Amino acid sequence: MTNPIALSTALAAFQDLWSPRILTHVNDYDVRLAKVRGEFIWHTHTDTDEFFLVLEGEVGIGLREDGAERVVTLPRGSVFVVPRGVEHRPFSAAGASVLLFEPTGTVNVGDAHEEVPGHITATTGERLGGAG
């Protein structure tokens, strides 16, 4: 990356929901942007934590751990890390934009998940056109 990237410009470059775009890289991590609305699937990342920063809107994350289920609510500007191995399901009724940090090659639907419905793209991220 040789030039700054305006997040507003990057977010305006795509409309697909639940299909993260790779904005840049930090060491062996992707910095990804995603637009979300509705519900994702319950899934687990066995070997990595998942970092969320809500840029616009509000995101809820359902968590299942130790036999209990809870929801964390992330308003705009909030950060949350889902620990590796914790089953989780992001959702946003009104829609939101999020920035994610994940090791390069991490599949967004995790290694253990429900069947992937048609409104979700199972991907390791698509390079954002024209970035960096």
DSSP string spanning the chain? --S---HHHHHHT---BS--EEEEEETTEEEEEEEEEEE---EE-TT--EEEEEEEE-EEEEEEETTEEEEEEE-TT-EEEEPTT-EEEEEEEEEEEEEEEEETT--TT-SEE----TTS---S-EEPTT--
pLDDT digits (tens, 9 = 90+) for 95-127: 999 999 999 999 998 886 778 888 888 889 888
Q: What is the pTM of this model?
A: 0.91
The ranges assigned to domains in the chain are 7-127
CATH of 7-127, one of 3.40.50.11890, 1.10.760.10, 2.60.120.10, 3.40.50.1820: 2.60.120.10
pLDDT digits (tens, 9 = 90+) for 13-52: 999 999 999 999 999 999 999 999 999 999 999 999 999 9
